[in-house]
Structure 1
C-alpha cells in the first residue's frame, strides 16, 4: 500500500513590492509536479502564498510537503518547512536557490531536489513507498545521520512534450489568476553572468513542439496568456511558426512574453506578434552604459534599444523595460542617464533593479571571492536592496539612486503628463486618424493600452512609496555603513555577514 496518498506543494510568498506585485502569476514547477502526482492517483493541493494564504489544517494532513523557493523566498520557505517538520511530516525542498545551496536547505528539510526536479521527485516518492533507499536517485540530496549525501546530478529533460500540462486547477485561489502562464521552452542560449538560468536549466535551448503548445492553448482556452519562457523569441523561426499556427487554429488570446531587443529587428515576427494579439513585451534592456552592456554580455547597443521601443509602440505593443543598476562600470551619472532614457523613449512601465548576485551565478562567486558581499540575508536578494560594495559608488549611493529613478519614473508629475501633456495630443491624433479610416479595433486597442499605461504608472507610484516606508531600516543601515567606511577613509569593505 502506498505511503504517500496526499501531497501539498507550496510556493512561498516573495518579499517587497514592485509594479506587478498584485498580479497573481504562479511559477509552473509546482503545477507541473501536481499534474504528474495526480496521474498517479495522489491527492494534491498547491498554495501560492503570494496571493492565497496557507491553510495549515490542510498542509498538516499531508503525507509529504514540497516547497519550491527562489533566493528571496528561501527564508519564508525554511520557516514553513520547520513548522511542517515539527508536525512530523517529511519536507522536500526544490527550486533555484536550494539547487545551489543544498546543505543549507537540509538544515530545514528532509530532502533537497537539485535542478529540474520532475523525475527526481517522482522517484523519491517511489523510494519512500518501497523503502528501497535513496542512493540511486539522481539530483537528490539528503542526510543519513549527520552525514549529508549529494547524489549525482540529473540530466536535463530533453523531451519536454513527455511532461504533462501544468495543472493550474490544483492551485488554491485559482480564480485569482487572470493571466494564464504557459511555458514553451527551457534554457537560454545567451550568457548573462548575473543570471542563474544557465546553471539551472542549461544553455541548450529545449523546446516543446508547436503541436503541444497549441494543444495546451486549445485545452485551456485562456482569456489572456503569459508565455513564461526566459526568451520567447530565442529561436525566431520557431516562434514565427508557433504564431502562424495560433492564427490558423484561431487561438489568439491577448498575450505577453519576455523577449530580447533583437526581436524587434525581425519585421515578419513583429507583424505576427501584432496579429496574434501580443499587447506587452518584457525586455531586459539592463543599461544605457555601453560598458555595462558589454560587461553583461548583452550584445546590443543603446540605438538598438531605442529602435526596439519605437517599433513595438508603432504596432500598439506596450514595452516593460527591465534595467539593472550596479555593474562595476556603472556610476551615478550612468544610472541617471538610464532613467532619462526610459522617460525619453516613453517606455510604458519599468523596473530599475539593483544587480543581485544570486547563488549559482558567476557574479556571486566573484563577489564572494573578492569579499564584496555585504550580507547573506536571502530575503533581501530581490533586486531592490544593495547587497555588495559597488566599484564606483557607495552602497548607499546605489540604493538611493535606484529609489530616485523609480520615484522619478512613477512620479505624480509623470502621471499628470500622461493625462494632459504634449503626448496626449499625439495620442488623440492617432485615435482620430483610425476613426476616420474605420479602424474600430485599433481604436479600442489604443484606448485599452493607454488606460493600462496610466494605471501601472499610478499604481507604481503607490507601491514605490510603500516599499520605501517598509525598508526604512535597511536604508538607514546602508547609510550608516557609508558613514562608517567614510570615517575609516576606505572605499570598500570586506563582507559584513548578517546585520545585527
Structure 2
C-alpha cells in the first residue's frame, strides 16, 4: 500500500529581510525534529523543504521561488506542515497554505507565532489545524486521525474549527524526557546545502525577559545525547560547524562541563576540530573553569544578548545586568579567545511613569562608545519587536501603540522596522535611522582597506606570537574583517531593497489610524513633527 506524504515547509523570509541572504547554509531545527518524529509512523513518509535553502534549479520559478505546483505534481503531499516560528515569514506561510489547500492537502501549522491573538487569522488563511506547544507527539496523533478519518477532539494541544467556531483541546504537557525523542535526521531536508547545523539540548528558559516568547522552566537532554547528535552528523555529512540553539548555554553547569569534556575527547579521538557557536549569558564569564572547558570543546563564538549599555533600558527589559559590569565580563570572554557576537535592542520602550534621560543622539553615542570599548567582533542592532505572546506586545497593545496589521504586516517583524509608536522625542523614522547609523558605523567600507592590508601582515603575527599561534591569530582576525565586509554589503543591499518598499508611506496611514485612539504619545509625536 502506497504511503501518504507529509511535507513540512519552512516559508521563505521576505527578500528585504536583512538576514535572508545568510539562510542558505543552514535551516531551522524545529521542522527537522517534527519530521523525524513522523519518520517511522506507519503509513506515512515525510520530507522537509526549506524555501530559504533550496538548490534544485529545475523546480525554481524565474524569480527564484519554488514552483510548488511542480513539486506537488511530482510527489503529491497529503498533508502539509508549515513552520510558524518566525513572524516575518507568516505572509508567505499563508500564501502557501492557500495554494496547498486548493490542491486538496490538509494544512497544519505551529510555532511561537501562533497564540490566542493570531490563531483566528490562521483559520482565515486556509489553515486546518494549529499545533500549540511542542509537536512531536501531537503530529503523530494528528496524522493518524487524518489517515483513519477520526475526530480531532481527543488530540491534546491543538486548535481547529468545528461548526464555524474555533475549538481548543486541552493543553499538551511539555515533554520532560528529551532523551526519549529520536535524534533529528537532517537527511529529511531535501535539496538543501548544510554548512552550519543547528542543534539543541535545552527547551525553555527561566530568564523571563519581557520581549521574548521563550518561557517556562528549562528542560535538558543529556550531554551524551548532544554529543551523539554531533558525532552522527559529522560522520554522515562531514559537517564541522554547529550552532547550539539553546537560548542560554550552560544553564546547568555540571552537565555543561560534562558536555564540553565529551566533545573535547571526541575531537581528540577523531583528530578534528569543530567550530561551535553558542548563546550564553554575560555573567557566565565569572566561571573560569567553564570558559576553559568551552574552549577545549571547540566553542569558538559566543553570542551574547547585551541588549543595551543604558541602565534604564536594561531595567525595563528585566535583564538583571548593570552597565559597569558588562565591559569587565566581556573582556573575560576575550581573554579566553572567544569571538563575540553582540546582540542589541535599540529604542526599547520605557515602562509607564519612566522617562529615559538620554536624548536620541546621546543614546546612539552610548551604543557606539560601548561597542568600541568592548572590541566586539560582530554586532546585531535591532529595533524592539512586539512578538505575539510576549509581555512587551501586551503592554504596547494596552497602550494603543502597535501599528495595525492592515498597514504594517507581519513581514516587517524582523527587527529592522519600527512597529509601534516610540517614546518621545523619537519618531519612527529617526529611530530606524539611529540603528542604521550604528550598524553603518560598525560595518563600513573601510573593511575593504583593512582586508587588503591584513593580507600583508602574516610576518608580523608570526614574529609576535610564533609560527603556529601567529598564523592562528592572523586567520582569526582575517575572519572578523571578512565578516565586517560581508556586513557592509548586506546593509547596502538592504538599503536598496528598502527604497522599493515605500514603508514609511504605509506607516503614515498606520499612524493616522492610531490617532483615532487619541494616544498621547502619538499626538505628541505628530504635533512635534508638524512644527
Per the normalisation by structure 1, the TM-score is 0.89
1:259 partnered with 2:280? yes
Q: Which residue pairs with 1:51 in the alignment?
A: 53
Deviation at 1:263? 1.8
- Structure 1 Cα separation of the partners of residues 181 and 78 of structure 2: 24
Structure-2 change in CA distance of 1:134 and 1:315 (3 Å): same
Which secondary structure state, in structure 1, belongs to the residue aligned with residue 478 of structure 2? Answer: helix
Q: What's the offset of the Cα at 1:79?
A: 0.4
1:212-291 matched pairs, under 5 angstroms: 212-221=225-234, 222-250=239-267, 253-291=274-312
- Cα deviation digits, residues 293-347 of structure 1 (max 9, x gap): 1111111222332223322222322111100012124651223311332133221
CA distance in 1, matches of 2:484, 2:181: 39
Q: Provide the rounded CA distance (Å) in 2 between the counterparts of 1:479 and 1:7.
A: 39
Aligned residue for 2:32?
31
Offset of residue 284 of structure 1:
0.4
Alpha carbons 2:157, 2:169 under 8 Å: kept = yes
Query: Which whole-Å CA distance do the structure 2 matches of 1:254 and 1:228 have between them?
Result: 14
Kindly indicate whether residue 494 of structure 2 is the aligned counterpart of residue 477 of structure 1.
no
Hey, what does 1:40 align to over in structure 2?
41
1:411 counterpart = 2:444: yes
**C-alpha distance in structure 1 between counterparts of 2:404 and 2:453, whole Å:** 45
- Checking the alignment, whether the CA contact within 8 Å between 1:102 and 1:114 is kept in structure 2 is no
State the 1:408 CA deviation. Answer: 1.1
**Residues 187-231 of structure 1: per-residue CA shift (max 9 Å, x gap):** 111011000011xxx2x1100011211222222223121111111
Q: Distance in 1 between matches of 2:482 and 2:312?
A: 34
1:420-460 CA-partner distances (Å, limit 9, x unpaired): 59xx99x986653321xx6x1x3343233212211110111
CA distance, structure 2, for counterparts of residue 491 and residue 297 of structure 1: 23
Counterparts in 2 of 1:137-152, with a 5 A limit? 137-152=155-170
- The question of whether the paired residues in 1 share the 8 Å contact of 2:404 and 2:510 is answered with no
> How many angstroms does 1:99 deviate by?
3.8
> Which of the numbers 373, 390, 397 marks the counterpart of 2:430?
397
Q: How far 1:481 moved relative to its partner? A: 7.2
The question of whether the paired residues in 2 share the 8 Å contact of 1:326 and 1:355 is answered with yes
CA deviation after TM superposition for structure 1 residue 372, in Å? 0.4
| Aligned partners of 1:316 and 1:446 also within 8 Å | no
What is the CA-CA distance between 1:19 and the residue it aligns to?
5.7
Alignment partner of 1:296 is 2:298: no
Q: Which residue of 1 aligns with 2:153?
A: 135
Counterparts of 2:201 and 2:471 in 1: how far apart (Å)?
A: 30
Change (3 A) 1:434 1:464: same
**2:522 matched to 1:492?**
yes
Q: CA deviation at 1:415?
A: 5.2
- In structure 1, how many angstroms separate the alpha carbons of the residues matched to 2:158 and 2:209? 27
Question: Separation in 1 of the partners of 2:511 and 2:39?
Answer: 56
Decide whether the 8 Å contact of 1:8 with 1:65 is kept in 2.
yes
Aligned to 2:417: 385
The residue aligned with 1:352 is 381
Runs of 4+ off more than 6 Å:
481-486
Distance (whole Å) between structure 2 residues aligned to residue 328 and residue 380 of structure 1: 18
- The CA deviation at 1:127 is 1.1
Displacement of 1:132 = 2.3
Of 262-271 and 188-197, more deviation after overlay is shown by: 262-271
Deviations 1:444-486 (A, max 9, x none): 4323321221111011111111112212344543785799899
Instruction: Report the Cα distance in structure 1 between the residues aligned to 2:479 and 2:342, rounded to whole angstroms.
Output: 15
Check whether the contact 2:511–2:522 (CA below 8 A) recurs between aligned residues: no
TM-score (norm 2): 0.84
Whole-angstrom distance in 2 between the partners of 1:336 and 1:381: 26
Q: 2: CA distance between counterparts of 1:254 and 1:165?
A: 21
Alignment match, 2:529: none
Query: Which residue is equivalent to 2:58?
Result: none
2:326 and 2:250 map into 1 onto residues whose CA distance is 16
CA distance in 2, matches of 1:267, 1:363: 35
Asked whether the 8 Å contact 2:41–2:140 carries over to 1, the reply is no
Contact preservation (8 Å) 1:99, 1:112: no
Contact 2:342 2:376 in 1 (8 A): yes
Give per-residue Cα distances to partners, 1:340-361, cap 9 Å, x unaligned.
3213322111111000000100
2:135 is the counterpart of 1:117: yes
Residue 306 of structure 1: aligned partner: 327
Q: How many residues align?
A: 482
Distance 2:300 2:280 in 1: 13
CA distance in 2, matches of 1:88, 1:385: 36
Q: Does 1:448 align with 2:475?
A: yes
